[in-house]
Every structure is written in structure tokens, then in C-alpha cells.
A = this chain, B = another copy of it.
Amino acid sequence: MITSAEQQHLDASLRLLIERCRSLTIDDLNSRAIITARHSLLDWFGCAVAGANEPAARRFRGIMDPAPGDTPLIGTPDSLHWRDALVINAFNGHLLDFDDMLPSFSGHPSAVVVPALLTVGEQTGAGVDKLLTALVVGTEVGDWVASHVLPGHYDAGWHATGTLGTFAAAAAVCHLRGLSHDEWISALDAAATQAAGLKAMFGTLAKPMHAGNASQAGVVAASLSTITSSSGRALNGETGFISNYRGAGTVPPARREGFAIEGMLYKTYASCFMTQAAVDAGAQAATLPGLDRALITLSVSPKLADVCAIEDPRTSNDAKFSLHATFALSALGFDLSTEEAFHPDNLQDPAYQDLRERITLRFDPELAGQEPRIGVHIRRARGESWDTTVDRGQPATDLAAREKQLVQKFTRLVEPHLGATRTRLASDLILHSSRTTIPELTAATTQPLIPETTI
């Protein structure tokens, strides 16, 4: 339960947030926010095109038995009725678990917000600038809710992408549709009453479905606010969302400059976010002489013990959640940005097994709260040692370098499905166009814009 003083504080803070967000246009955004929104858009499209062509995506589509319609299914030549397209696009975008991540949100806001905006934007004919602004706004509002329930919310077992994503999608759609202040309040209430998703389902197809459900719930919440109104109690009330979903360990929200989206992180490698630093560290260590007999100690947060500490994984998926495997594969020169690197055969290779056995994991309490960070200590045969630290918890400062990496990732994910030319056109459109409409954007990743052979 929350006190009435706390409610008043929440109400006032939310009112200010909505006022600030409602009137926001692309001109109010700093370039770091705009570029990051474009990077998230690019990253989402890449994941969605590749995801749509996975066998699991076909199975999910099968059980949803969708209706045909006008909303494009990204990465395919098909279009479906809006609600089916929305759920399946959002599912596909999160299926590979390769999309962006916002630490202050403990999850993947774009996975929920982008497909909601594409669906609604398909109907409203909005352009890319509006889409980017709404993505910034959705992330901002999702982050506001997150700041009032995290870390207890995530620690208690809720999957923030599913729960908090609902608010992010609802707010983004409210912005895109230009709804009134009261409608925003009602929409966030309607999001609160639909928020669901448990971490206990990680490792199953329910995880990407959480993104689909949250995306759908967010769009429906925004629409519902136009036919029924409420006063914010489902979000801020005595027995509303914040009260019921914040678990035990709530802390006062952190103050922050700029826009929440500026904190976005991107995966370079097709493994768990918390192993990304291990892959970078492995690549650095690869050049060390004498690595083939060295003893390696990886220091990480104790919170990773039940996240990615599988010592001797045998399947591809387990390898993605193994600090041992990701460091060792990377140190042996495998390119972990591709699925192939995680092939079970590679996990049987004697050189890999030899290296893996020389790795010790050390849980360092001082790294608690800094999960994307890894400390590496390598002691070589003659007693020489080498130390490095890699922190993947901070957003990139060099945005051009990040963009280059993200275009490479996009190309790897999309080219097999759309061909080289269309892949290049799509990434150019997403990164550089501001007049393009959403239907043009989605067409670039579904129907061919220009037949491949005529270029």
C-alpha cells in the first residue's frame, strides 16, 4: 500500500511528465536522443526481420491463426489485421533476444514501443520524425514508472519488458495520436490494469510473447482512454500498479539529466546482455602470447550467478548464458555476433575445452549493481599477469562508431532475407530519412521497394 502523501507526490510528478511529453516535438530533442532513437529503430528492425524468419516465429504465428489485413508483417511479404500484426511483429522483434536494453528500465522498451508505433502509424500516416519523438516519449514514460517500482519489481520476479513496456507503448501511442491530458491519464490506468509478465517464463516463447502482449495492451489502452475515463488510481492509487508491483526493495527514484532513451545499450553479440563484456574481454585476450596455458579469472557481480554462470554448456542456447563459453569462444577467434559461433560442435572442440577449463569465475560483491561489467585477471605460465576491465553498462560516447557497429549487425541479420541492396536501402532510410512515412518505412522491410535486379 502507498500513503496518500506518496500518491499526491506521484500524481504531481506524473502530471508534469505528461505535460512535458505531450507537447514534445523533434525540435525539442537533443541530437543524442534523436540519434539513439534512430539506432533503436534500426536495431529493432534488424531483429524483427531475422526473428520473423525463425522456425519459432512460424510456430507462434500458427497458434495465433491471424486474420489477413493491411498491417505489414516485418521481414515477410505478408500483411495482417492490425492486432495480429502487432502481436506477431513484437514477438518476432524480441524472439532472438538481440534487441536494445535500457538499464534504468531493466528491460527492452523498444521491443514493445516500436511495433505499437508502426501499427498505429500505419493507420495515421505519420512520418519518421513523429515516430522517433514518440519512441523517445514512450521510453521516457516507461522509465518514469520504472523509477517508482525498480529494483524491487524486477527482483520480485516481474519481467519489466512485459509490465513496464505496456506503459511505454501506451504513452508513445498517446503522443502519436495527440490525445488530451485526461486521456493520457486514463490510458496509463488502462495500461496498469493490463500489465503482466513473469521472469519465471524466461527461456520459453512466453518471453517474446510478453513484448507482443504489452505492445497490444498499450495500443488498446490508448484507444480505451477515448471511450472511458479514470483518474490515475490504477497507476498511483492505494492498491494500484505502483503499490502492488514494486516488491520489497523500493528506493527513491534517481534524478537524471536529458532523456531516458540516451541511456540505451545495444548488444553486439548474440548472447546474454551480461556476457557482452566477456566477449569483448575475450577478443582482447586473444592477442596475448601464452594464453594457451594461462589461468584466467573472471570477476563479475554475484547477481549473475543465476543468469549466465553455466560452466560447461552443451547447447547453443546455454552457451549464450555462459561467461565461460562466451569468453573462451571469443578468445579463440569466433565471431560471436553470429549464431554459428554458438554451434554445439564448437563446444566440443579440444582447444575450447582446454581454455574453458582454465577459467575461474569469481563473484565480487563490489560489482553488485554493475552487472554488465567484468574484471579479467590472466596469469601466464611464467607468472606474468595481465588485467583488464570491460564495462558494457555505459552508453556509447562515440555515436558514429556505434552506428557503424549497428549497421554491421543490421546487415548480418537482414541481408539473408532481403538481399544486399534492399538491406542497404532500408538501413539508409531508417538512419537518415526524416520525411519518410511509416508505410514507406515498413514497405522497405517487407515488400520490395525497387526490384533487386533493376538496380
Contacts and interface: CB of A to CB of B under 8 A. Distances in A.
A59 B205 contact: no
Given A204-B229, A206-B224, A240 B198 contact: yes
Interface string A132-162: 0000000000000000000000001111001
Interface string A84-127: 10000000000000000000000000000000000000000000
A199 B239 contact: yes
Contact of A237 (B63, B200, B217, B223): B200
Copies in the complex: 2
A64 interface: yes
A243 B157 contact: yes
Contact of A190 (B60, B84, B206, B224): B206
B198 A196 contact: no
B67 A81 contact: yes
B230 A206 contact: yes
A410 interface: no
A59 to B, nearest CB: 4
Nearest to A162: B193
Interface in A215-241: 217, 220, 223-224, 226-230, 233-234, 237-241
Interface string A175-212: 00000000000100110111111111101111001100
A239 B156 CA distance: 6
A213 B198 contact: no
Interface in A223-268: 223-224, 226-230, 233-234, 237-241, 243-244
Contact of A223 (B63, B84, B192): B63
Interface in A51-87: 56, 59-60, 62-65, 67-69, 81-84
A338 B241 CA distance: 36
Contacts of A205: 224, 227-228
13 contacts: A59-B227, A64-B220, A67-B67, A83-B83, A83-B84, A190-B209, A192-B198, A193-B210, A196-B196, A200-B230, A206-B228, A206-B234, A213-B217
